[in-house]
């Protein structure tokens, strides 16, 4: 869904300076910073196959070279192959690109479990090298055990009362083996080596149809020269994530490798408001256009976001006319109340928007935890990709999202959706959590009145949005083939999913 | 407009112009089969035209869009080709542009596009991942006869049929 909604267009700057979309960021509560893949440590927790959900230990995985023994991967598009039965026989098929085992020149099998593909001609060579290296490794280990650290003095005194001490020493040495022989490499030394002649190399090709490049191979898949065989599916690791600075765990899953719940999961979207662009606008140099942005709060408490646009000298950054800060107060989400509003008010929910202020200094849409802003924008040059830079300061009115109570075993999203669906009457009481200051918020800036301390993130978050290309005012927008498109007679895919 | 007696065209389908639909073909609701003035569309036997499919012939006057047998037009595809053969499968949201020719046993995956005008598409191609072309020697798509029969009996029991309208007499 992220690829369809293009959430990768809005990138937040992590505390290490790299841009990432919000769903790829974590939040460390001790450092009070956003953390990304680069500034966290990742440890492999479990190993799981995405096709058959089979788990393996690290040792088993090492023997299988990181592949599943029973699942296969399409060589063209790298998706999992599904087996399909046709006329009582089985065939592996790709659901994305329609690749078959028939294309690879392999007939339908009667038994689904025993798929054997002809291995590459060099597979035996690599297998020999691998077994030889294992022999060397064993020998080195034995050598190391045989010559231990001579500084160690054992206090154990074995008296040679029954004459068994010498036998005991002999038995220890019996596993002694010679150093393994190196592999035989067949090289013959030739006395007369002919000079390299360019005529052989530069001779014209007899049959150009013999040489197939990548796209030509795709066209004639079952010819015996270019066989694209299915590969064994590589196996995926499941990771625990730790902050790089303070060694706190950010994401830790349950012990059972097949469970989808987490012991702890501190993701950025439960702490920082989510900014999403609604449909890329038409940007020109001469006329002003508006970028429509949704700001949503998915945390457990009330959040005030202050959004301003930042001017950048670069030509690919867009200049915006938004001089002031837009203050967006966002309460936490409450789906039960939303559904009840829809049922009782029958869709006539009153608008929570102040119309008196000008269009772009204000929020043009607001519904509980979501608000929409428009930002007036001018392009500077005709570029393929324009960028808009925003700065957002976040203030928490409740302390719950910033540093939740340790007794809360579920994350904020679980509390809203799962528990509240079970107990409708107590849902209202659950979502408003009374503020309880905890002693560990010395790293946050506190400001505001003495009654209700407002916590804000110490640094504002920089957000860069990829808006799209500038459209030349003089020309119409052309299709990739160079034709001006006629009026569309069908609904484009983007409008359907809006 | 002529429909074969076996053809099942559900009320709600939009059919305009000189359209001939062969026996066994099933046309779902909200499908649009549109022939411009002077042009005609001939659809063969045992085709399946799903919802929101647009089959149109905007070509020069006097041209005929001939569609063969056993084709499947999945939901929301947009077809303005010059000629289509037999046994093809057109996936959802696919686009076949004007002036193209499609031959037999092709498979166009969802969101696929084909815009090459003056050369007919080779038989048994598969277009996947948007626009990439590939030819396979894999299994041909199965004939549609049983599927059409099952669909037609199901649809007839719950929907009304569309009656063909005679073209207005030339004045």
pLDDT 10s digits, B131-148: 666 766 666 677 888 889
Give the separation between CA B40 and CA A146, rounded to whole angstroms: 91
pLDDT 10s digits, A280-334: 788 888 778 888 899 999 988 888 899 999 888 888 888 888 878 888 888 888 8
Backbone angles phi, psi at A187, to 5 degrees: -125, 130
Q: Is the pLDDT of residue A263 over 50?
A: yes
ipTM > 0.90 for the complex: no
| Residue to substitute from B34, B88, B128, interface A, most A β-carbons within 10 A | B128
pLDDT of residue A495: 54
Within 8 A by CB and 6+ apart from A169, the residues are none
pLDDT of residue A173: 64
Q: Which of A282, A492, A471, A309 is nearest to A390 (CA)?
A: A309
User: With bands split at pLDDT 50, 70 and 90, how would you rate the model's confidence at A177?
Assistant: low
- Chain A CB contacts of B133 under 8 Å are 219
B156: part of which helix (H) or strand (E)?
helix B145-158
- Give the pLDDT mean for A264-275: 91
Evaluate whether residue B90 is within a structural domain: yes
Evaluate whether residue B166 is within a structural domain: no
Evaluate whether residue B85 is within a structural domain: yes
Tell how far CA A268 is from the center of its chain. Answer: 14
More confident residue, A382 or B68: B68
pLDDT of residue B19: 92
Q: What is the count of structural domains for chain B? A: 1
- Write down the domain spans for chain A: 2-19+273-346+360-403+455-468, 75-137+198-229
Domain containing B45 — which CATH number?
Answer: 2.160.10.10
- Chain A CB contacts of B76 under 8 Å are 490
Which residue in the block uniquely carries the two structure tokens 């001790």? A30
Domain of B146, in residue numbers: 2-157
Output the pTM of the full model.
0.65
Q: Which fold has domain A2-19+273-346+360-403+455-468?
A: Immunoglobulin-like (2.60.40)
Give the separation between CA B34 and CA B32, rounded to whole angstroms: 6
Inter-chain CB proximity A77 and B128 less than 8 Å: yes
Inter-chain CB proximity A103 and B136 less than 8 Å: yes
Give the separation between CA A398 and CA A414, rounded to whole angstroms: 18
SS3 B103: coil
| Residue to substitute from B94, B130, B138, B142, interface A, most A β-carbons within 10 A | B138
pLDDT 10s digits, B70-110: 999 999 999 999 999 999 999 999 999 888 999 998 889 88
**Which of A86, A98, A100 is the closest to B128 by Cβ?**
A98
User: With bands split at pLDDT 50, 70 and 90, how would you rate the model's confidence at A185?
Assistant: confident
């Amino acid at each position: 869904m992220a690829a369809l909604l293009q959430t990768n267009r809005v990138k937040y700057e992590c505390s290490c300076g790299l841009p990432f979309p919000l769903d790829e960021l974590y939040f460390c509560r001790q450092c009070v910073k956003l953390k990304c893949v680069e500034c966290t440590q990742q440890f492999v927790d479990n190993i799981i196959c995405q096709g058959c959900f089979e788990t393996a230990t690290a040792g088993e995985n090492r023997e299988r070279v990181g592949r599943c023994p029973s699942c296969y991967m399409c060589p063209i598009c790298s998706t999992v192959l599904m087996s399909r039965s046709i006329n009582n026989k089985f065939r592996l098929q790709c659901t994305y690109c329609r690749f078959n085992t028939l294309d690879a020149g392999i007939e339908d099998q009667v038994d689904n479990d025993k798929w054997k593909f002809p291995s590459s001609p060099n597979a035996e060579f690599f297998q020999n090298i691998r077994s030889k290296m294992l022999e060397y490794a064993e020998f080195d280990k034995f050598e190391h055990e045989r010559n231990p650290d001579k500084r160690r003095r054992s206090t154990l005194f074995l008296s040679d009362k029954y004459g068994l001490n010498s036998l005991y020493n002999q038995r220890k040495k019996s596993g002694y083996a010679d150093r393994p022989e190196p592999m035989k490499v067949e090289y013959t030394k030739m006395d007369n080596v002919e000079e390299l002649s360019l005529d052989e190399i530069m001779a014209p090709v007899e049959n150009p149809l013999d040489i197939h490049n990548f796209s030509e191979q795709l066209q004639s898949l079952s010819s015996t020269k270019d066989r694209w065989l299915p590969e064994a599916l590589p196996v995926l690791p499941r990771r625990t994530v730790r902050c790089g600075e303070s060694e706190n765990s950010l994401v830790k899953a349950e012990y059972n490798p097949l469970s989808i719940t987490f012991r702890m999961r501190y993701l950025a979207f439960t702490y920082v408001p989510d900014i999403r662009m609604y449909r890329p606008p038409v940007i020109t140099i001469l006329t002003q256009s508006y970028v429509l942005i949704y700001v949503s709060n998915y945390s457990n408490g009330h959040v005030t976001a202050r959004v301003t646009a930042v001017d950048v000298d670069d030509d690919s950054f867009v200049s915006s006319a938004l001089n002031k800060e837009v203050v967006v107060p966002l309460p936490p989400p409450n789906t039960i109340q939303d559904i009840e509003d829809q049922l009782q008010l029958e869709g006539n929910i009153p608008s929570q928007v102040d119309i008196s202020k000008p269009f772009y200094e204000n929020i043009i849409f607001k519904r509980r935890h979501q608000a929409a802003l428009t930002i007036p924008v001018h392009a500077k040059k005709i570029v393929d990709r324009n960028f808009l830079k925003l700065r957002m300061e976040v203030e928490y009115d409740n302390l719950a999202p910033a540093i939740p109570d340790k007794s809360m075993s579920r994350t904020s999203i679980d509390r809203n959706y799962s528990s509240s669906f079970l107990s409708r009457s107590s849902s209202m009481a659950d979502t408003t959590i009374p503020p309880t200051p905890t002693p560990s918020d010395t790293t946050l800036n506190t400001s505001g009145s003495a009654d209700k301390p407002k916590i804000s993130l110490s640094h504002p978050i920089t957000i860069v949005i990829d808006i799209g290309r500038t459209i030349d005012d003089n020309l119409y927008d052309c299709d990739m083939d160079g034709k001006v498109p006629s009026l569309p007679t069908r609904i484009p895919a983007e409008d359907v999913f809006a | 407009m002529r429909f074969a007696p076996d053809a099942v065209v559900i009320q709600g389908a939009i059919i305009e112009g000189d359209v001939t639909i062969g026996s066994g073909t099933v046309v779902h609701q909200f499908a649009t089969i549109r022939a411009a003035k002077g042009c005609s569309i001939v659809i063969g036997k045992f085709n399946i035209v799903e919802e929101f499919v647009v089959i149109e012939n905007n070509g020069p006057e006097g041209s005929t869009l001939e569609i063969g047998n056993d084709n499947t037009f999945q939901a929301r595809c947009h077809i303005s080709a010059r000629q289509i053969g037999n046994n093809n499968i057109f996936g959802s949201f696919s686009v076949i542009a004007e002036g193209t020719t499609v031959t037999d046993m092709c498979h166009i995956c969802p969101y696929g596009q084909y815009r090459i005008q003056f050369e007919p598409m080779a038989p048994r191609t598969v277009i996947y991942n948007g626009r990439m072309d590939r030819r396979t020697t894999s299994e041909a798509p199965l004939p549609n006869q049983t599927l059409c029969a099952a669909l037609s009996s199901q649809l007839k029991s719950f929907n009304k049929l569309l009656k063909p309208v005679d073209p207005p007499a030339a004045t």
